[in-house]
Amino acid sequence: FMSTHPELYKQLAGSPANVAKMIAYEKALSNKTVYWIPKEKIPTKGFSWIKDGDIIAITTPVPGLDITHIGIAVYMEDELHLLHASSLKREVVIGEMPLNEQLKKDKNMSGIRVLRMKR
For 55-112, the pLDDT digits (tens) are: 999 999 998 889 999 999 999 999 999 999 988 889 999 999 999 999 999 999 999 9
Cα 82 from Cα 115, distance rounded (Å) = 14
| More confident site: 77 or 29 | 77
Q: Kindly report the pTM of this predicted structure.
A: 0.83
Q: Where exactly are the structural domains of the chain?
A: 1-32, 37-115
Of 3.20.20.150, 2.30.260.10, 1.20.120.420, 2.40.170.20, the CATH number of 37-115 is: 2.30.260.10
- pLDDT beyond 90 at 20: yes
- What pLDDT does residue 29 have? 84
Residue 30: which H helix or E strand, with range?
A: helix 16-30
Angle formed at CA 64 by CA 40 and CA 99, multiple of 5 degrees = 30
- pLDDT beyond 90 at 16: yes
- Mean residue pLDDT of the chain comes to 93
Burial class of 86 by CB neighbour count within 10 A (0 to 12, 13 to 18, 19+): middle
| More confident site: 64 or 21 | 21
- What pLDDT does residue 34 have? 84
pLDDT band at 32 (very low <50, low <70, confident <90, very high): confident
Q: Percent of the chain, pLDDT > 70?
A: 100
